[in-house]
Amino acid sequence: DTEVTQTPKHLVMGMTNKKSLKCEQHMGHRAMYWYKQKAKKPPELMFVYSYEKLSINESVPSRFSPECPNSSLLNLHLHALQPEDSALYLCASSQIDRRNQPQHFGDGTRLSIL
Amino acid sequence: AQSVTQLGSHVSVSEGALVLLRCNYSSSVPPYLFWYVQYPNQGLQLLLKYTSAATLVKGINGFEAEFKKSETSFHLTKPSAHMSDAAEYFCAVSGGRGGGYQKVTFGTGTKLQVIP
């Protein structure tokens, strides 16, 4: 069982749709991350939240909009996506200021853009 | 700055044979290193981590890795491969912590195939 829960597991959407990905953790971690992973590639960092504040945006297009409503939840709002946005989206969390501690990953949301 | 290099994008071993997955790192600060495994359609699961307490690190599922500073390596091994070990393996290094978060750099991954 993973300690980071992501919903939905699969999502198919058209290019004009609006949808949201959700991530939840109850490990008390105050850093949360969104990654994008294409097939046969490592995860690519998209966003980092630290103490519920956006710390890093890795030049992600504005059609991706992150939100951290509280210390346990992380959302990724999607709008007007492109076919090249089809990928596995992974959420992760970690302790703050503990470089020697690993990130904990969810199982991801498999996103397909029609 | 930090980076990791995984040698071999694909490794094939026979069931029962030794598994050796290679990882070399580069880091401007003492490194914290991790190995993750990813099964199809799943997230990344931590196998083991090096945090300077011991150079030989034991992880889950019978895997272990040895940190060799002189060789800047952190290779992953398992004495006897099992069919269930077939997966993608990522080596990762943890970088600076500006802002409290953790900046992790992943290697390009090694796909392990186990042949019956």
The 3-class SS string of A27-72 reads CCCCEEEEEEECCCCCCEEEEEEECCEEEEECCCCCCEEEEEEECC
CA B47 to chain centre: 8
Tokens of residue B54, six digits: 């011991």
pLDDT of residue A2: 62
Mean residue pLDDT across chain B: 92
Structure tokens at A28: 């008390």
Q: According to the model, what pLDDT value does residue A53 have?
A: 93
Paired tokens of B109: 């991954």
- Amino acid of residue A35: Y
Burial zone of B108 (CB within 10 Å; 0-12 exposed, 13-18 middle, 19+ buried): middle
Mean pLDDT across B55-72: 94
3-state DSSP assignment of residue A89:
strand
A97: nearest CB among B34, B49, B97:
B97
Q: Residue B81: its pLDDT value, please?
A: 98
> Looking at residues B61-90, what average pLDDT do you find?
96
In chain B, what is the straight-line distance between the N-terminal and C-terminal CA atoms, in Å?
Answer: 41
Mean pLDDT by 10 residues, chain A (114 residues): 88 93 95 95 95 91 96 96 96 87 94 94
Q: What is the predicted pLDDT for the residue at B97?
A: 58
Distance between B35 CA and the closest CA of chain A, angstroms? 10
Evaluate if residue B20 carries a pLDDT over 80.
yes
Selected residue of B10, B44, B108 to mutate for chain A interface (largest A Cβ count, 10 A): B44
Q: In the predicted model, is pLDDT for residue B71 greater than 60?
A: yes
**B33 to chain A nearest CA, in Å?**
8
